[in-house]
């Protein structure tokens, strides 16, 4: 799940408005809106993200970090893709037929 979607879900769950979050963190409401609605930059600076999360109630902050941690653990434990790097496979791909 993308960070912006996590933030949107938490705003809804904890009945927070974008305006209130911006007031608490000193952010321009249009900047947050553009990020959350994907009409502006696709990425957000870490310090801006931290300001947003720190403006949430403590329960919402905890939930955000729990979700982020769970996602990083899930990615870290995902099995590596299998590659067929054997010499025979390489030879077979590069073999030329001579007639």
Residue where the block lists tokens 């902050």: 61
Alpha-carbon distance 77 to 10, whole Å?
26
Is residue 64 in some structural domain? Answer: yes
pLDDT for the residue 97? 46
The whole domain housing 70 covers 3-76
Tally of structural domains, the chain: 1
Start-to-end CA span in the chain (Å): 54
Per DSSP, the three-state class of 9 is helix
Which structure tokens are listed for 53?
A: 């999360």
Is residue 63 in some structural domain? Answer: yes
pLDDT tens for each residue of 28-87? 999 899 888 888 767 788 999 999 999 999 999 999 999 999 988 777 676 666 655 555
Domain of residue 53, CATH code: 1.10.260
Q: For the whole prediction, is pTM greater than 0.85? A: no
pLDDT for the residue 62? 96
Is residue 66 in some structural domain? Answer: yes
Contact between residue 43 and residue 3 where contact means Cβ atoms under 8 Å apart: no
């Amino acid at each position: 799940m993308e960070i912006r979607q996590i933030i949107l879900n938490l705003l809804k769950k904890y009945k927070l408005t974008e305006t209130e979050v911006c007031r608490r963190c000193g952010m321009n409401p249009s900047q947050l809106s553009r990020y959350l609605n994907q009409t502006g930059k696709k990425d957000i600076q870490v310090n801006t993200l931290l300001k947003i999360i720190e403006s949430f109630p403590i329960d919402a902050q905890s939930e955000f970090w729990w979700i982020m941690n769970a996602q990083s653990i899930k990615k870290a434990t995902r099995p590596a893709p299998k590659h067929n790097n054997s010499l025979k496979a390489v030879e077979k791909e590069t073999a030329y037929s001579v007639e």
